[in-house]
Copies of this chain bind each other. A is one copy, B any other.
Amino acid sequence: MVSDPHTTLSQRLAGSGLRLTPQRELVYGVLLSQRDHPSAEDVFARVKGQLPSISLATVYNCLETLVNCGLVKQVNMERGPSRYCPNLHEHAHLHDEISGRVFDLELPADLAARLHLLLPAGYSLSAIELNFHARPAVPLQEAAAASHAEGQEAGAEKPAPTQIAS
């Protein structure tokens, strides 16, 4: 039985002797409602729509609080702004190097189990991260066409193929 976000948040915070504030609730809400692994700046922009007076420092504070409560994971797949993920299931991340987007990937339980076995004796695990860096494969047909008209374009251009809905 999964309780609503408000309750979850409120309980986790209470468990750490922290208060449930509008800012924390909004930040958490933003993460839950658009699971695209936004950066702190992204979250700031989104929350600002609902609470224009919020400050960036507060967003950083709230994110840190949520991470410490274990409700959110900080994702660092490469240098650059940290991103934030409210998906608590053990999962992998796919970084689309063209669009810059990050997607969640299911991680089969038996595979996860095998990964855990790799940890050397004498260590106590705090987290495993599995990150895929990839780019949309060019369909064979287009590849042929492209090889005629050469030329490098930068930035995002084509809609991703068979993409998981956000």
Q: Residues on A close to B: CB < 8 A? A: 74, 76-79, 82, 92, 94, 96-97, 105, 107, 111, 114-115, 118-138, 160-164
Contact = CB atoms under 8 A, between A and B. Distances in A.
Nearest to A103: B120
Given A76-B77, A134-B119, A126 B97 contact: yes
13 contacts: A76-B77, A105-B120, A111-B118, A119-B134, A120-B162, A122-B163, A123-B134, A123-B135, A124-B135, A126-B133, A128-B130, A129-B132, A130-B130
Contacts of A114: 111, 114
Contacts of A107: 118
Most buried by B among A120, A124, A128: A120
Contacts of A161: 122
A92 B133 CA distance: 15
Given A114-B111, A129-B77, A130-B130, A122 B136 contact: yes
Contacts of A79: 74, 76, 82
Given A76-B78, A76-B79, A129-B131, A137 B115 contact: no
Contacts of A115: 111, 130
A123 B160 CA distance: 10
Given A105-B118, A123-B135, A129-B129, 12 more contacts: A97-B126, A107-B118, A111-B114, A119-B134, A122-B161, A123-B134, A124-B137, A125-B133, A126-B135, A128-B131, A128-B133, A131-B131
